[in-house]
Chains A and B, each alone.
Chain A
Amino acid sequence: MSVLLVLLAAAAAAYVAATWRCRSPWPLARTAAWLAGVAAAAVAVAGPLTVHGDLRAHMAGHLLVGMVAPLLLVLGAPVTLVLRALPVPAARRVSRLLRAAPLRWLADPLVAVPANAAGLWLLYGTGLHGAAGHSPGWSALLAAHLLVSGYLATASVLAVDPAAHRRGVGVRAVALAGGAAAHDVLAKVLYAHPPAGVTGAEEGARLVYDGGTVVTLLTAALLWHRWYVSREAVRAAAQPAAPVAA
């Protein structure tokens, strides 16, 4: 777990350093979101995820590292920052890399969201997470997996950073709702059939169900708000006849 904490500290430091090198002024709110996301992940890794056998603590950690932290990190728009902080030729190479097939697929909500849900089902449905509980290396890997997979899913839905082929808002909203449904069903399955040898299964399942709903609602609100704001320009362009003052 300490390796993970060092990596998180490095992610915070690298981000702040990049904002200094950024060609245009970087919004403070994005830096705050990134640092809060790193903090949320660090709290989960250092606290609840080190407790074994108690599903309440595990699910509190799961919510923080797999849902809250990814949302905050996505709002930090790290890819945009990298593209603006790097010298132009290097930034071009990065954006070419992002358009390459494997990375393009990972940025597609129809891939990233089902992959995230499938990962959770595999972990909790097969008792893999119980096996991870007994080995520090395994639990660090588990936390890292939750963080990365949650980040990819949230990033693909919110599309804060530039993407090669961005899906329409309807597809992204449906993907988000589908992922939330899979999460809800899994929480109820855990409630009814908790893994062997854990305590607090019912409270843990309810916590992750309710917490997941809150985070998904926030994500949906952000998604549609971003759509509403972006449509301003579309609307103005679509009605050239209307004499609207700039």
Chain B
Amino acid sequence: MADALPRPPARRRLLVSGLLLGLGVAGAVDEIVFHQILHWHHFYDRASGAAGLVSDGLLHAGTFSAAVAGMALLADARRRGSFVPALWWGAVLTGAGAFQVWDGVVHHKLLRLHQVRYGVDLTGYDVAWIVPGALLLVTGVVLLRRSRERPAALR
């Protein structure tokens, strides 16, 4: 092959693919586990204001749209032969972690849009949602930095 490393536009597309898919997967996990399986969340708890509703609507539509777009961009990167596992996984973890931290901090705590669970002390649940999210985010960012510093070694 002429160039062993994908050129910058291809790298950027792979990065965007991972971020979008990470966001979409975290949103889907939130939806499936907490809404559908555990029934901890409600469709709408009637306690949140207009800003919360708009943010929730944008997040719901945004996450599933992001997942579809991320898959299409991943398929495209693979067919171009510009897939770099460390870069892509770093982006996926960053996207998923960012979603979880945003949901945990902004939605649950600042906007009080909805809570993890109702009728129980929330501290443990909040820690169990936000801390792993932050860990995902940090791991993702570290992976991304390493794939930039040593791109050749990771191929």
| A residues at B contact (CB < 8 Å) | 173, 176-178, 180-185, 188-189, 191-192, 206, 209, 213, 216-217, 220-221, 224-225, 227-228, 231, 235, 241
CB of A188 within 8 A of CB of B65, answer no
**Assembled-state Cα–Cα distance A241/B2 (Å):** 9
Q: Which of B54, B64, B72 contacts A185 (CB 8 A)?
A: B54
Flag if A220 contacts B53 (CB, 8 Å).
no
In the bound complex, do residue B68 and residue A217 qualify as a contact, i.e. CB atoms below 8 Å apart? yes
Residue of A whose beta carbon sits closest to that of B75: A228
B76 within 8 A of A: yes
A220 contacts B43, C-beta separation under 8 Å: no
Q: How far is the CA of A235 from the CA of B81 in the complex (A)?
A: 12
Contact A228 B61 (CB under 8 A): no
Size of the chain B interface, CB-CB below 8 angstroms: 22
A203–B44 Cα distance when bound, in Å, is 13
Interface of B is mostly: helix
Select the residue from B58, B62, B65 with max chain A CB neighbours within 10 A: B65
Give B146 Cβ to nearest chain A Cβ, in Å. 28
- Tell me if B60 is interfacial: C-beta within 8 Å of chain A: yes
In the complex, how many angstroms separate the beta carbon of A121 from the nearest chain B beta carbon?
12
- On whether the beta carbons of A213 and B72 are closer than 8 Å, the reply is no
With the chains together, A21 CA to B57 CA distance in Å?
Answer: 46
Candidates B46, B60, B69, B75; contact of A220 at CB < 8 Å: B69
| A231 and B76 alpha carbons, distance in the complex (Å) | 9
Which residues of B are found within 8 Å of A217, using beta-carbon distances?
64, 68
Alpha-carbon distance A230/B6, docked complex (angstroms): 22
The answer to whether B68 touches A224, judged by C-beta atoms less than 8 angstroms apart, is yes
Q: How far is the CA of A176 from the CA of B68 in the complex (A)?
A: 12
Q: Which of B44, B62, B71 contacts A191 (CB 8 A)?
A: B44
Within 8 Å by CB of A181, from B44, B46, B62, lies B62
B43 near A191: Cβ-Cβ < 8 Å: yes
Q: Which of A176, A182, A188, A224 contacts B72 (CB 8 A)?
A: A224
| Assembled-state Cα–Cα distance A44/B2 (Å) | 58
CB proximity of A29 to chain B, nearest CB, Å: 21
Chain A hits for B75, CB < 8 A: 228
User: Given A192-B46, A228-B72, 11 more contacts at CB 8 Å?
Assistant: A173-B69, A181-B54, A181-B61, A181-B62, A183-B61, A184-B61, A185-B54, A188-B56, A191-B44, A227-B72, A231-B76
